[in-house]
């Protein structure tokens, strides 16, 4: 029975924007070698989006071929991202196969889609979209109840108004007691020092995060 399921899942097709090996730039796992599987399509349009190339570009690949590409890198840590990876129903076959094969899997989601179908062997990094993203009305707040200790919520902060909104959400939903909380400045729009000062002044129980890939690789580099 298991073999049949595995074969079926391997045949599931996904539209993939890119697969590459790099250093994880975000989350508490920042700095770790990681295989990135970026899925095509997104249902949101954040004002500061840095992966708009994933909205449409991509090729159809069966899960079996994706697994082969991932395994060839010889790295045990895999990030499934986008775009919005949860838009393609078949992503659950990919995540299940990766977990079955012993990969440590993280999933990045914009936070507008239901987390319930997700294989919870995977760690979740879920955005709560701040007002400055233009997508604040899309947050699926029911997802907060599904977050676990090892998961993380991420606020991408463009200005003081976004910071105040984030702090309010952290307090109202007691996020720090539920999961990790990341605050990340919009690269090039908000100086990290300002965000650090606000966090320290408020004794906010969060992790300030910089997207370290933006400091390592050339601007607008792809596949890194």
Q: Which residues bind ligand SF4 (CB under 6 A)?
A: 42, 44-46, 49, 51, 82-84, 110
Q: Which is nearer to ligand SF4, 44 or 183 (CB)?
A: 44
In the complex, the smallest distance separating the C-beta of residue 22 from ligand SF4, rounded to whole angstroms, is 17
Among candidate residues 212, 193, 178, the one with its CA nearest the CA of residue 28: 212
In the complex, the smallest distance separating the C-beta of residue 129 from ligand SF4, rounded to whole angstroms, is 7
Q: Which is nearer to ligand SF4, 16 or 67 (CB)?
A: 16
Q: Which is nearer to ligand SF4, 9 or 24 (CB)?
A: 24
Q: At 75, is the secondary structure helix, strand, or coil?
A: coil
Q: What angle do CA 125, 118, 97 make, to 5 degrees?
A: 105
Alpha-carbon distance of 38 to 115, in angstroms, equals 18
In the complex, the smallest distance separating the C-beta of residue 200 from ligand SF4, rounded to whole angstroms, is 27
Q: Which is nearer to ligand SF4, 84 or 93 (CB)?
A: 84
In the complex, the smallest distance separating the C-beta of residue 11 from ligand SF4, rounded to whole angstroms, is 27
Among candidate residues 39, 45, 40, 37, the one with its CA nearest the CA of residue 55: 40
Spatial contact of 200 and 13, defined as CB atoms under 8 Å apart: no
């Amino acid at each position: 029975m298991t073999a049949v399921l595995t074969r079926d899942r391997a045949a599931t097709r996904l539209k993939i924007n890119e697969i590459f090996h790099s250093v994880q730039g975000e989350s508490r796992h920042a700095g770790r070698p990681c295989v990135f599987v970026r899925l095509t399509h997104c249902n949101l349009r954040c004002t500061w989006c840095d992966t708009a190339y994933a909205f449409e570009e991509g090729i159809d690949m069966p899960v079996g071929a994706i697994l082969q590409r991932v395994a060839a890198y010889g790295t045990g840590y895999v990030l499934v991202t986008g775009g919005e990876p949860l838009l393609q129903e078949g992503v659950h076959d990919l995540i299940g196969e990766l977990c079955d094969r012993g990969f440590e899997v993280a999933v990045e989601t914009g936070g507008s889609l239901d987390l319930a179908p997700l294989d919870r062997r995977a760690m979740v990094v879920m955005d709560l979209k701040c007002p400055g993203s233009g997508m604040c009305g899309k947050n699926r707040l029911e997802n907060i109840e599904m977050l676990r200790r090892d998961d993380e919520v991420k606020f991408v902060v463009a200005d003081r108004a976004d910071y105040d909104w984030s702090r309010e959400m952290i307090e109202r939903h007691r996020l720090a007691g539920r999961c990790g909380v990341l605050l990340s400045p919009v690269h090039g729009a908000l100086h990290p020092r300002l965000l650090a000062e606000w966090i320290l002044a408020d004794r906010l129980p969060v992790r300030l995060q910089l997207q370290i890939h933006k400091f390592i690789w050339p601007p607008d580099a792809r596949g890194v």
